Structure 1
Amino acid sequence: MFDKILIANRGEIACRVIKTCRRLGIKTVAVYSDADDGALHMRMADEAVHIGAAAAAESYLVIEKIVAACKATGAQAVHPGYGFLSENRKFAAALKEAGIAFIGPNPDAIYAMGDKIESKKLAKQAGVSTVPGYLGAIGGTDEAVKIATEIGFPVMIKASAGGGGKGMRIARSADEVAQGFSSATNEAKNSFGDDRVFIEKYIEQPRHIEIQVLGDKHGNVIYLGERECSIQRRHQKVVEEAPSSFLDEATRKAMGEQAVALSKTVNYDSAGTVEFIVGPDRSFYFLEMNTRLQVEHPVTELITGIDLVEQMIRVAANEKLAIKQDDVKLDGWAVEVRIYAEDPVRGFLPSTGRLARWRTAEESKVIRNDTGVVEGSEISMFYDPMISKLCSWGKDRAQAIETLSAALDETWIAGIGHNVNFLSAVLDHPRFRSGDISTNFIAEEWPNGYAGTVLPEERQNSALAVATLIHIRNELRARHLGGKLGLPEWVPGEEWIAILNKREYKLSVSDAEGGCDVKVGKGKALKVRSGWKPGEPFFRGTVNGATVVARVSARPDGVRVVHGGAELDVAVRTPRAAELARLMPEKLPPDMSKYLLCPMPGLVVSIAVADGEAVKAGQALAVVEAMKMENVLRAERDGTVKKVNAKKGDSLAVDQVILEFA
């Protein structure tokens, strides 16, 4: 076994590897860039080595710097995590030449399976079911359009060296191929240093289901069940679960055995994942093999009890697998959501800045939180915007989902945009709960983008009742009233008015031990009970006996209640105060329709228009790159460009003016 391991990565995966190493008594070395100076992974490790500037191409992707850090610290092995150099054959070979163990598969397996084009060729030759497509080198845009037309639309354009949704586009026409080919090759080059892409047929209503494999250097390979990763946005996984509610035992076994056979073909010797597209009839097609640990590996660990990082370390140390296929048992259900620094309401644009608040449910037997940040951490534009992977375990799917939904209600993030409310909306969606999902789920359920969550009437009334209790207790504190917490004596009668989204709701409120009873309109009384005290950021209590968790905060004119993915700003007033409030003039926001604003901090890749040019609705105006992803900004309506205020190469702040319209 190794005495010291260097983790050639950052963020949550570096922290996660360090935790296993600590448990095994192995010392760790972190590496960090200028942007990560002081980061959590750097502080958790026993040693830390600076390796360069913020840009990954000058730090985390420089093989020579990683090898030098190993030699300087005496690290005997390197765990690459995922992304960066994790599937780089040259990196694995360089470590081997330096006498340093690579905690991952052998270079030949990386070459055979890590390259998406070559892996498909090999899978096809081995008789594995593959998706129709063109796997050769594509000379340019015109050739890409020709190939796509011959395959038949829709097609998928995908980076050969890619992963994580980068360098990937769906095209349903020749025009979309031309545009998608350019963006995919640019993203592939920037993210992986390899601009090759391939084109394949896109399977409609597909599920994305993957098989976790584990092999050693002695010819043993097993599979650890499957993960359902169908909830995706722009081909980036958002929610993952294990097992899949869609597979029957026969399909599960067939996929697992095929994954093992493919792994043995290339002498695979580490943790890896064979990904499949699964059709509505449970037909499955080989998609790719990721020759590394996957982001979503925690759900497999939660249902199998197997630490995949530990197994990778033991395999790299030339140990035989101590686990046989018959030893693998799937216990319960696990679900994972990826919490990102992004703004779903603004088209999921990346958000950068300082993490002023970061709190979530405490880790336990049923909650796991893999994170690489703490309060005060900086979310940089240079790397993936992940904040956390929040996971739950339950005895069945329904329980796991409920547990994770409650954990999201206990999550508080401030200082940056985030997708927590959107994740809650996904988990609460009836279609997701039923298991009727595909990779098109998000696009189909939010075709015009996510504009916020609207709670059903019953849950909204429950939130109004919670806001009422909070308002009462805030007012009691403000007026320095002692005694029991209930209706303050100064309230003229029991009739109150709650205002939500400019709509008024009549409330009948009565005092009760441990809370109050609230009737919304002519509905039944809601019995709100809680020990909540003014200033606490979370409400934990019951409404009619059902547990309710919500993030709460005081607003200038009321209470904000965040629950089930919805943000409700509720004002609770006496009838007279409500009457006077109706007379107050409404302040309208300034008209910004004549400007194209930069939606997130980023780098201008290109400007597609000039001063005085007429544009049509939907026309591409500019491309801005943020967090390794290219974002095309389009005209919302027909118009004429008055002035272009930015140029290629400019680094822009959020809401900085790019164009002005006449």
Structure 2
Amino acid sequence: MFKKILIANRGEIACRVIKTARRMGIKTVAVYSDADARAKHVEMADEKVHLGPPPASESYLLADKIIEACKVTGAEAVHPGYGFLSERTSFAKALEDAGIAFIGPPAGAIAAMGDKIESKKLAKEAGVNVVPGYLGEIADTEEAVKIATDIGYPVMMKASAGGGGKGMRLAYSEQDVREGFEATKREGLSSFGDDRVFIEKFIESPRHIEIQVLGDKHGNIVYLNERECSVQRRHQKVVEEAPSPFVSPEMRKAMGEQAVALARAVGYYSAGTVELIVSGADKTGQGFYFLEMNTRLQVEHPVTEYITGLDLVEQMIRVAYGEKLAFGQADVGIKGWSVENRVYAEDPYRGFLPSTGRLVRYRPPAESDDVRVDDGVYEGSEISMFYDPMIAKLVTYGETREEAIDRQIDALDRFEIDGIGHNIDFLSALMQHPRFRSGNITTGFIAEEYPEGFQGAPAGEGLTAKLSAIAGIVATAEAARAAQIEGRLNGPTPPPADWVAKLDGAEHKVSISGGAVEVDGTVLEIHAAYVPGQRLIEAVIDNEPLSVRIQKTRLGFKLTARGATHDLRLMRPHVAELSHHMIEKIPPDLSRFLLCPMPGLVTQIHVAAGDTVQAGQPLAVVEAMKMENILRAEKTGTVKEVVAKPGESLAVDAVILEFEQA
């Protein structure tokens, strides 16, 4: 077996590979940029090599520097993780020329599957179902409009070398094609160095299902069942699970056999994933079509590991060393259910805007046989603007789908993150959503269920009363602690026992006497240990567990539980009575401004001072994390002043332009 391997990646996937290598007795080498000098993967590895400045193009994408690092450290093999150089044919060839093993597929297979246009042609030749579309190169917008019209709307425009949700546009009309074709080309060029675009039919009620394949260098190839990744936002996966609640045994077999046929057609070995789009309206088991093959380890591989009992990273390493697979297709089963949520640095309450900054507090839930956290950060880490905003992957397991989902909800409640925006509330809301729990999901699930954006999960029955009780316990404990301060003029005073809690438009009367807590005249059986200053309370209320993240505010608390953050104002009864006479503060009207919704680069301004604009009209384009965001007018109006200029980097809420006052 290899004695030492280098991981040509960063973050959670680098840490993930190091864990398996360590268990196998293999030493590891980490590479890092200036931004990652104190990163978790660097600390975990046995050796580290500096690559360059923070931008990936000047560090993690420099194949020659990574090969030189292998030579300097004596690393015999490279695991590329996902992203960066993982699907770069030239990198795999360069390693081969240098006599260094690539822990991945052969360069020929990467090349064949890396081009989405050519891969579809190969898939068709291999007998794999493909989506109707145009696979040739498209010269310009006019040709794109003609092709889209011939195929029939809706269509999907995709960058040929795209992935990770970048370089994709859905078009329902000719106007959408005219507006989005050039943007798709630019995103493809910016993110992947390739501006070719292809167009294919968009499948209605689509489900995104993928087959995990694994092959060795001796011609053995198996499929490790399917994963469902239908819950997506802007084509970026948010929730993954294995198996799929939609796929029948017959469909699984048909998909798996086609995936293996495709892998065999390109001489594939190592781990890979064949992604399929499935018509949710087709119950025959034949309505699935090839999307692409990812010739690398997928972000969501842990759910497959849970249900098969296999370590995919270990299998990749063994295959790269030349070992045969120790099992065949008949040995691959499905045990239980697994769900994965991607915890991102983004603010779902503000349209999922990216968030950067320091993790002032980072406390993931405790791991167990049924709860797994894959991360590459620790408390104090910096979430950089240069890389993917994923903080961690939370993976849970259960004997049934419901059990795995419930474990997600409990674990998400125990996840503590401060300092940056994050999507934990949103993930919890997804896990509780009746439609998700029913398994009736499509790739349009998030857009359909949250058309006006996310405002927090609706509070379940009795939740506000329980949160009021928790707040009363905390406030009483804090008051009792304050009463112990020495030198008080009147000596120690008993802590208050009666409170009024205001949250979500409701008012609850809370009384605390000894160990009993009464809310609105009803006694709750509560077991909750609290120490002043504590940020997470794990309580049992009326025999039901409830974890609550708590943060003190000037007038009360922010309480987070079950997918929503609640502003709770806690007052003594006489203060609550007087508060009804307070004048409500009205927030300023900012509707006449177009504000930058995220830190980003202004690439285009479409209007000038004096222009009249209509609702929905594009006003400006802001690029953030390699994706173009078109900012549109919310209503008809006249532009008074354009403040920002193309090429200017803006902070959140910076003014781009101002409208005339209505």
Please give the TM-score of this superposition, normalised by the length of structure 2.
Answer: 0.95
What's the CA shift for 1:409? 0.4
Residue in structure 2 matching 1:560, options 546, 558, 561: 558
What's the CA shift for 1:508? 5.2
Alignment of 1:147-158 (within 5 A): 147-158=147-158
Q: Is 1:211 aligned with 2:215?
A: no
2-structure distance, mates of 1:397, 1:9: 32
Alignment of 1:68-79 (within 5 A): 68-79=68-79
SS, match of residue 598 in structure 2: coil
SS, match of residue 457 in structure 1: coil
2-structure distance, mates of 1:506, 1:315: 62
Which residue type is aligned with residue 500 of structure 1? L
- Residue 581 of structure 2 corresponds to which residue in structure 1? 583
- Residue 490 of structure 2 corresponds to which residue in structure 1? none
- Residue 304 of structure 2 corresponds to which residue in structure 1? 300
SS, match of residue 532 in structure 2: coil
Residue in structure 2 matching 1:507, options 499, 506, 509: 509
Contact 1:278 1:285 in 2 (8 A): yes
Partner deviation per Cα, 1:485-543 (whole Å, 9 max, x = no partner): xxx95658x6x422114x34242535353xx33233x7x54322211222111111111
Contact 2:483 2:494 in 1 (8 A): no
- Residue 647 of structure 2 corresponds to which residue in structure 1? 649
What's the CA shift for 1:234? 0.6
- Residue 501 of structure 2 corresponds to which residue in structure 1? 498
Contact 1:393 1:400 in 2 (8 A): yes
Contact 1:425 1:453 in 2 (8 A): yes
SS, match of residue 259 in structure 2: helix
Which residue type is aligned with residue 322 of structure 1? A
Alignment of 1:77-156 (within 5 A): 77-156=77-156
Which residue type is aligned with residue 174 of structure 1? E
Partner deviation per Cα, 1:416-463 (whole Å, 9 max, x = no partner): 111111001000101111111111110110012112222133223222
Alignment of 1:153-232 (within 5 A): 153-232=153-232
What's the CA shift for 1:332? 1.1
- Residue 355 of structure 2 corresponds to which residue in structure 1? 351
1-structure distance, mates of 2:317, 2:547: 40
Residue in structure 2 matching 1:419, options 404, 423, 441: 423
Farther off after superposition, 614-623 or 338-347: 614-623
Residue in structure 2 matching 1:605, options 603, 606, 625: 603
Residue in structure 1 matching 2:468, options 455, 464, 468: 464
Contact 1:210 1:228 in 2 (8 A): yes
- Residue 659 of structure 2 corresponds to which residue in structure 1? 661
Contact 1:383 1:628 in 2 (8 A): no
Contact 2:500 2:572 in 1 (8 A): yes
Q: Is 1:535 aligned with 2:527?
A: no
2-structure distance, mates of 1:490, 1:192: 63
- Residue 631 of structure 1 corresponds to which residue in structure 2? 629
2-structure distance, mates of 1:510, 1:8: 57
Contact 2:86 2:296 in 1 (8 A): yes
What's the CA shift for 1:318? 1.0
- Residue 241 of structure 2 corresponds to which residue in structure 1? 241
- Residue 392 of structure 1 corresponds to which residue in structure 2? 396
1-structure distance, mates of 2:444, 2:42: 38
Contact 2:116 2:160 in 1 (8 A): yes
What's the CA shift for 1:10? 1.2
Extract structure 1 runs of 4+ deviating beyond 6 A.
none
What's the CA shift for 1:616? 1.8
Contact 1:333 1:396 in 2 (8 A): yes
Partner deviation per Cα, 1:593-639 (whole Å, 9 max, x = no partner): 22222222111221212222222222211111111221111222222
What's the CA shift for 1:546? 0.6
2-structure distance, mates of 1:419, 1:182: 31
SS, match of residue 35 in structure 1: helix
Q: Structure 1: which 5+ residue stretches go unaligned?
A: 483-487
- Residue 365 of structure 1 corresponds to which residue in structure 2? 369
Q: Structure 2: which 5+ residue stretches go unaligned?
A: 487-492
RMSD over aligned Cα atoms: 1.8
2-structure distance, mates of 1:491, 1:57: 60
1-structure distance, mates of 2:542, 2:20: 43
2-structure distance, mates of 1:605, 1:451: 30
Farther off after superposition, 246-255 or 422-431: 246-255
- Residue 485 of structure 1 corresponds to which residue in structure 2? none
Which residue type is aligned with residue 207 of structure 1? R
Farther off after superposition, 598-607 or 579-588: 579-588
- Residue 480 of structure 1 corresponds to which residue in structure 2? 484
2-structure distance, mates of 1:117, 1:631: 26
Farther off after superposition, 622-631 or 588-597: 588-597
What's the CA shift for 1:86? 0.8
Which residue type is aligned with residue 469 of structure 1? I
2-structure distance, mates of 1:145, 1:479: 74
SS, match of residue 498 in structure 1: strand
1-structure distance, mates of 2:279, 2:554: 52
Which residue type is aligned with residue 270 of structure 2? S
Contact 2:518 2:524 in 1 (8 A): yes
Partner deviation per Cα, 1:87-123 (whole Å, 9 max, x = no partner): 1111111111111111111011111222211111111
Residue in structure 1 matching 2:549, options 548, 551, 554: 551
1-structure distance, mates of 2:140, 2:71: 43
What's the CA shift for 1:348? 1.0
What's the CA shift for 1:481? 9.6
2-structure distance, mates of 1:512, 1:443: 48
Contact 1:467 1:560 in 2 (8 A): no
What's the CA shift for 1:468? 2.4
1-structure distance, mates of 2:3, 2:77: 9
Which residue type is aligned with residue 507 of structure 1? K
- Residues 1:481 and 1:403: Cα distance change in structure 2 (over 3 Å): farther
- Residue 341 of structure 2 corresponds to which residue in structure 1? 337
- Residues 1:4 and 1:498: Cα distance change in structure 2 (over 3 Å): same
Contact 2:479 2:495 in 1 (8 A): no
2-structure distance, mates of 1:226, 1:85: 25
- Residue 613 of structure 2 corresponds to which residue in structure 1? 615
Which residue type is aligned with residue 503 of structure 2? L
Which residue type is aligned with residue 28 of structure 1? T
- Residue 443 of structure 2 corresponds to which residue in structure 1? 439
Which residue type is aligned with residue 128 of structure 1? V
1-structure distance, mates of 2:658, 2:609: 9
Q: Is 1:404 aligned with 2:411?
A: no
Which residue type is aligned with residue 502 of structure 2? I
SS, match of residue 462 in structure 2: helix
Contact 2:527 2:540 in 1 (8 A): yes
SS, match of residue 247 in structure 2: coil
SS, match of residue 224 in structure 1: strand
Q: Is 1:430 aligned with 2:434?
A: yes
- Residue 318 of structure 1 corresponds to which residue in structure 2? 322
Contact 1:425 1:564 in 2 (8 A): yes
Partner deviation per Cα, 1:20-44 (whole Å, 9 max, x = no partner): 1111111212222222222221222
- Residue 259 of structure 1 corresponds to which residue in structure 2? 259
